[in-house]
Chain A
């Protein structure tokens, strides 16, 4: 079954070493895996195991100490800062563990911001932003500034911001860490639905086994190493997925 899918993200022998004083911290200690197009993967592990580090490196936010990251055929670790920015603008949506909304903007403006980088007109991007704000259940907080919202609300704005640009890959770092269990389920179902519909690849970091169950595959990571990969069977969705006879999409990221 996996042979039929095209690989989206390939990670080979990835290391990240932080120097703290004289000692070295191996945040990632030789990681290998492949994620396929249209897949929903969860990276699971205890606090401090290196989940965020791995995700940041996949999105090109940080350079690995050693190893390869190939996304859609390109070596991420070899791209320049400019090319990385362009790569993220075209293909990546990123959901932060700590929201990272722009403090000087309200909810709608925050969601519309990445669209403006793609040259979308003001009218079109505001419409789209409002649509996604409604999807995450924040129609009443549209005009709230970042510091005028609760942690969970800010987190949902962050999710809407990542989804609104229709990226090929979504990286999510504890996207539901600040939400109650009911909202968590709603948001996860929403993400699952959007990702399935648009055949997007979703990589989500979590320490919660219940949340990880939503994913197709779970990478269990401890002390910077993958020690177990679990597959989950979501029956109805699988039928859908097999109907997609995906043609390989162009994943070039030229600068500009």
Chain B
């Protein structure tokens, strides 16, 4: 028997038994879809957890704090300050890609009637590149003039001192209308002098202090996100580290710089001391080791890793649960597919008997039934995948939003490998389920097969 004859006979059989074929395909469809949707939920949940963690900051980042920042003065030896030397040491630790120091200083910003105390952070170029921007761009490297990258929630810090509304704005419409890009923003660095002049007070020498100089500082970019979307960069204003150092040196000269510690005699150090540093690790798996190395150097180190491990444990539990349900649905699906397939083959025992009487080769009969059941498995698998995409869409559209409003992103995800595996599985189960009853029918004598009702 020619293969083309075999194929056309199989296809004809499916075509001529439309209802039977439809019902069998439907059985496979439901089986396939139930597995795919289950697994897609498991995958979605896992990825969602990872994304959520990643959204709070990079997973390969370690934040280092100096615990000797304040009050280290009591011990006789020099406190454990984070200086450029220490940063260089961090960079020499194995698996560390880069270490960027953060130099923080409090400033007063004013625009019109509004003012705010803002944490101005000097950061390296590599750090700045990681900040997602809504508009504008990061300042050119090597530019000595200060240019600001402004957090998307900084405007909330502004208030009008005259209206006495030191506000916590729980309603986004009442946030003051601060425009960083188009209107001038003045920055006062020397806060001591500002207070003294505000109070009309006198300085150390009893001389009246004149108000400190205001600097007009342009804004280069705005951090991504609306006034409600919190992220790591929302509440700070970032400037280039070197530019900030230069600016501070120029303003304060020999005077102590605010936020910078002083030695025992109350004199400032002649180098900058950082409050915080960000260490980039090459791989997620090395974060814990690097963190330990930094702690051993006498600094405090935090990363998302600890939290991630916690969340991963949780995610694993949920996955085990969904996996269990998935395994059950896999089993049920396989039985469902096998059942419909077997019923349709048992019905055809008589046909197999006739084919044998007419001299159809046993291998041909077997191949014919394998082709048919494989084809049904294929049809059911493909339509099942399409159906799953539909269900997945509905879940993401209506369910995710309602029950997990704190988690943006799709709850059900169908990666290509899942689709392919599911179709393969449907074909396999279909063939296996079609094969064994066909084999049984072939083992019967033709007469017994024909008499089989």
Contact = CB atoms under 8 A, between A and B. Distances in A.
A85 interface: yes
Interface stretch (B153-161, B164-172, B254-262, B353-361): B353-361
A62 interface: yes
Interface string B303-330: 0000000000000000000000000000
Interface string A113-125: 1101111001000
A88 interface: yes
A256 B2 CA distance: 13
Contacts of A161: 358
Contacts of B358: 88-89, 94, 113-114, 117, 161
Nearest to B8: A122
Interface string A84-103: 01101110101010001011
A113 B5 CA distance: 10
B330 to A, nearest CB: 33
B437 interface: no
A113 B361 CA distance: 12
Interface stretch (B71-79, B226-234, B442-450): B442-450
A243 interface: no
B364 interface: yes
B113 interface: no
A196 B2 CA distance: 32
Interface stretch (B9-17, B33-41, B212-220): B9-17
Nearest to B445: A62
A161 B355 CA distance: 12
Given A100-B354, A102-B354, A104-B13, A256 B5 contact: no
A186 interface: no
Contact of B1 (A59, A90, A116): A116
Contacts of B445: 61-63, 81
Interface string A57-88: 00101110000000000000000011001101
Contacts of A82: 362
Contacts of B47: none
A170 to B, nearest CB: 13
Nearest to A57: B447
Contacts of B2: 116, 119
A56 interface: yes
Nearest to A60: B446
B351 interface: yes
A122 B8 CA distance: 11
Contact of A92 (B13, B359, B360): B359
Interface string B422-453: 00000000000000000000110111101000
Contact of A81 (B16, B350, B354, B362): B362
Contacts of B359: 85-86, 88-90, 92, 114, 117-118
Contacts of A105: 12, 16
Interface string A160-178: 0100000000000000000
B361 A85 contact: yes
B447 A81 contact: no
Interface in A47-63: 56, 59, 61-63
A100 B357 contact: yes
Contacts of B354: 100, 102
Contact of B361 (A86, A92, A122): A86
Interface in A206-256: 256
Contacts of A62: 445-448
A117 B360 contact: yes
A161 B358 CA distance: 9
Nearest to A106: B16
Interface in B325-379: 350-351, 354, 356-362, 364
Contacts of A89: 358-361
A117 B357 contact: no
Given A59-B357, A100-B450, A103-B351, 12 more contacts: A61-B446, A81-B356, A81-B443, A85-B361, A86-B361, A88-B359, A89-B358, A89-B361, A96-B357, A114-B358, A114-B359, A116-B1
| 7 cross-chain pairs, A with B, having the tightest CB-CB distances, nearest first | A89-B359, A104-B16, A88-B359, A61-B447, A114-B358, A61-B446, A116-B5
Interface of B: 1-2, 5, 9, 12-13, 16-17, 350-351, 354, 356-362, 364, 442-443, 445-448, 450
22 contacts: A61-B446, A62-B445, A62-B446, A62-B448, A81-B356, A81-B443, A86-B359, A86-B361, A88-B356, A89-B360, A100-B354, A100-B357, A100-B450, A102-B351, A104-B12, A104-B16, A104-B17, A105-B12, A116-B2, A117-B364, A119-B2, A161-B358
Interface of A: 56, 59, 61-63, 81-82, 85-86, 88-90, 92, 94, 96, 100, 102-105, 113-114, 116-119, 122, 161, 256
